Structure 1
Amino acid sequence: MSSNRSSNTSPSSRTSPSSRTSTSCASSGGVRPRKRTMSKRKRAMYRRRRLVFFGGLLVFLIVCVLCVYSLIRGAVAAHEWIGVADRMAVSRSAVPAPPKKSKVKDCTAKNLQMTLTPAADVVPLGGSLEFTATMTYVGTDPAGCFVDGADDARVLVIRSGADTVWRSDACEAAYRPLLMMEGVTDERKIVWDTVRSGDECRASAELPHVDRGTYTAQLVIDGDTHVESEPVTITVG
């Protein structure tokens, strides 16, 4: 009977310890772990989150750019407005204020007397002669009268017969308004360099001297031929 049990057991049915070990190792190590996969629902949720995040970031950047642009435009507009305001202020200051109307009238022959006094009756050829021009108020109005006492308004005229030789208004003078009232007298010195003036303003050194002869000098008010002084006679020679 023992021989029968031994004959029934074949060598192939016996398993060695090493083969069992390799088999167990193969069964345990040969199976790879399964990867964890994300569901479609979660992937869609993450995509929505990314879209929301980047969309918000884009909106934030756009708002920042618009704010900076608005600040720059505001600064430029303010600068331009200040420049326009300055120009308007300058233009307003450049416009002269309208003259105030006064109840005081201009002087006339009835209330203004003019006198011309030469320093000498004779002046050498090529020399100079000084005159004293005097204006005196002779009116009765307490308000007085206005007159321009500048040399181009109260004019000294030198004549030789009917020929006008020289005028003090050949050159423009500064405006010199005078309020003539009772007891007021104005005196001014005027020098004639015995030269002949023309239509243009030129220095006496550039003008020709007059010849020897007799001349008359007189004060007149420009624009009013009725206001004048008595003529005086002078001799050049």
Structure 2
Amino acid sequence: MPTQPTRQPRPGSRQKPHKRVVSPQRRAMYRRRRAVALVVVLAAVSLVVFCVYSLGRGVVDGMSLLRPTPIARESVPAPKKTSGVNDCGASDVKLSLTAASQGVPVGGSLDFTASISYEGTSSCLLDLSDVVLTVSSGDQTIYSSDSCPADPNRQLLAKTSDMNRTSQKMTWGASRTGDQCVEDQSKLPKVDRGAYTAQLSLKNAHKAVSDPVTIQVQ
């Protein structure tokens, strides 16, 4: 019986590829791999975003720490009063003022010693920041040491010899204060030649004043 000749593909013709059959188990494995890969990618993206955010937040916090923060002197809290001890009043203290010299040149400065003696019957607290030096010309106030706020400085005064007196130095730069606080007296306008009166007083106790001291600006 004659052999059938093998059919050869025609020149230029394409053979249809055989479709690959994927089992259900392999399809499930592919889906699991895709899910795991997606989870890994999302985790990596989240980590990058977190690192960038943390780095930016750290830079901002560091800059805020380096930036100086202004502190107002008025915001400094006053120390708490000792329990049961009242503030010194006009009847508890005697003020005295002594000048280092009776004259000062124009544009110069003059030191004073402010002394506070205890004359009360029971202990009291004195805040030295409430002791005010005032310089006047006639009825006009030229200079006041409380034009700028001062830090509280409380001291206990009593009858005992080591607690019945306190003092502090105060300086007048032969200058004139205004409504605004200027801590550097050298930047204040200078007074003219003439006679001026210096006196010590205690805030919130208007009757507590020292004897006036006459100063000559030459």
Task: Name the CA distance, whole Å, in 2 between partners of 1:188 and 1:97.
Answer: 22
Q: CA RMSD in A?
A: 3.9
Change (3 A) 1:116 1:99: closer
Task: Name the CA distance, whole Å, in 1 between partners of 2:128 and 2:170.
Answer: 12
User: Residues 105-162 of structure 1: CA distance to partner in whole angstroms, max 9, x if unpaired?
Assistant: 2211122221111223x31542543211112233332xx3333323xx3111112221
Q: TM-score, normalised by structure 2?
A: 0.64
* Equivalent position amino acid for 2:145 in 1: S
1:31-180 matched pairs, under 5 angstroms: 46-68=22-44, 71=47, 79=54, 100=80, 102-103=82-83, 104-120=85-101, 122-126=102-106, 127-141=108-122, 144-150=123-129, 153-170=130-147, 172=148, 174-180=150-156
- Partner secondary structure for residue 230 of structure 1: coil
Can you give the 5+ residue segments of structure 1 that lack an aligned partner in the other structure? 1-22, 33-42
Q: Is the 8 A contact 1:137 1:180 kept in 2?
A: no
Change (3 A) 1:187 1:65: same
- Partner secondary structure for residue 209 of structure 1: coil
1:210 to 192, 212, 218: 192
Asked if residue 223 in structure 1 is aligned to residue 204 in structure 2, the reply is yes
Specify which structure has the bigger relative contact order, considering alpha-carbon pairs within 8 angstroms and separated by 6 or more residues: 2
Change (3 A) 1:68 1:220: same
- Partner secondary structure for residue 65 of structure 1: helix
2:174 to 194, 212, 215: 194
Larger helix share, 1 or 2: 1
Question: How far off its partner does 1:96 sit?
Answer: 7.9
Task: Name the CA distance, whole Å, in 1 between partners of 2:97 and 2:77.
Answer: 36
User: Residues 154-189 of structure 1: CA distance to partner in whole angstroms, max 9, x if unpaired?
Assistant: 11111222121222223x254141222223222222
Question: How far off its partner does 1:220 sit?
Answer: 0.9
Q: Is the 8 A contact 2:90 2:206 kept in 1?
A: no
Can you give the 5+ residue segments of structure 2 that lack an aligned partner in the other structure? 7-18, 66-70
Q: Which deviates more, 98-107 or 181-190?
A: 98-107
Q: TM-score, normalised by structure 1?
A: 0.60
* Equivalent position amino acid for 1:211 in 2: R
Change (3 A) 1:145 1:197: same
Change (3 A) 1:72 1:236: closer
Task: Name the CA distance, whole Å, in 1 between partners of 2:78 and 2:216.
Answer: 47
User: Residues 43-77 of structure 1: CA distance to partner in whole angstroms, max 9, x if unpaired?
Assistant: 99744244223222222223333444565577678
The number of residue pairs the alignment matches comes to 186
Percent identity, aligned pairs only, is 30
Q: Is the 8 A contact 2:198 2:213 kept in 1?
A: yes
Question: How far off its partner does 1:205 sit?
Answer: 5.5
Task: Name the CA distance, whole Å, in 1 between partners of 2:81 and 2:185.
Answer: 37
